[in-house]
Amino acid sequence: MFPGVTAGYTYEDCSATADWLLAQTAVRPLVGIVCGSGLGGLADMLKDQVAFNYKDIPNFPQSTVHGHAGRLVFGMLKGRPCVCMQGRFHLYEGYPVQKVTLPMRVFKLLGVETVILTNAAGGLNQDYKVGDIMIMKDHLNMPGFAGNNPLVGPNDERFGVRFPCMSDAYDRELQQLAADLGQELGYRDFLREGVYCVLGGPSFETIAECRMLSKLGADAVGMSTVHEVIVARHCGMRVFGLSLITNLSVMDYDSAEKANHEEVLQTGKQRAEQLERLVSTMVTKIEHNNNFA
């Protein structure tokens, strides 16, 4: 076993988890959705639900974060078969990055073709406001700079190639679809497009760190999503990401502002309905063969 690689997340393990889930539900999802902090309402939109607590799913980790329900929900979203994670896993919970990203490989083996990831993020871009929704066009993987990448270790070709491309990580057609739908839904004033930076957490960023990340080209910062994107792309799934800007990162030493998790959840509650409408409308526009309706 390679250093830093935890045993127990093999192709066979992922297959066993997928097979167990497929045996429990008739839904064959083509779209997988991951709900970030305070955004679990997306799963509640599914009709004919079959839900599983993470603790009951073989090989699955458990969500320990307030605001993450910890359920995998299968069902129909406006007539389209979907699976939805109500709550995700993070490095700061103590999970190895291979465990954090396990659900993406399970999604692939369930038959998912398109993954929609949402998160709550701090705004670094000075033009952003609390409540803005940012379409993710690219990312900065800071833990990856230090070698903490979910693809470290032996590569299994059944999932994907040894050196996957990431210059096309975020599907441009899906980004355009979201932008067009945002215009139709009247979201022009708060729909943005930008670069998301992931850090390890759980502490929020220092002022110096925020200034550095801004200079590096990051528009928003958070503690999730990027590892899932890497594994989803490695598996050949299309990826679309949305960040809800729940707080503005503190960039000024004279500021009395402080980031806190309650603010994140509160903003999620206020804007969640509009974000849900955007995602659910997108799902209806993605055909089963990944062409648009």
223 is catalytic: yes
Q: How far apart are CA 210 and CA 42, in angstroms?
A: 30
224 is catalytic: yes
37 is catalytic: yes
Of these residues, 9, 93, 134, 272, which one is catalytic?
A: 93
**How distant, in Å, are the alpha carbons of 65, 71, 183, 234, 284 from that of 293?**
37, 30, 18, 26, 8
DSSP states of 19-65 as a string? HHHHHH-S---SEEEEE-TT-THHHHT-EEEEEEEGGGSTT-----S
Of these residues, 63, 125, 243, 247, which one is catalytic?
A: 247
Of these residues, 261, 263, 280, 288, which one is catalytic?
A: 261
Running DSSP on this structure, what letter comes out for residue 93?
A: G
Is it true that the peptide bond before 202 is cis, omega within 30 degrees of 0?
Answer: yes
Of these residues, 43, 45, 120, 142, which one is catalytic?
A: 120
9 is catalytic: no
Of these residues, 223, 232, 237, 282, which one is catalytic?
A: 223
Q: How far apart are CA 248 and CA 170, in angstroms?
A: 24
Of these residues, 63, 149, 224, 243, which one is catalytic?
A: 224
Of these residues, 68, 139, 227, 234, which one is catalytic?
A: 68
261 is catalytic: yes
203 is catalytic: no
228 is catalytic: no
Of these residues, 9, 18, 37, 169, which one is catalytic?
A: 37
Of these residues, 9, 63, 90, 134, which one is catalytic?
A: 90
Question: How many degrees, rounded to 5, is the angle at CA 73 between CA 115 and CA 33?
Answer: 15
Of these residues, 15, 51, 69, 92, which one is catalytic?
A: 92
90 is catalytic: yes
Which of the residues are catalytic? Answer: 37, 68, 90, 92-93, 120, 223-224, 247, 261
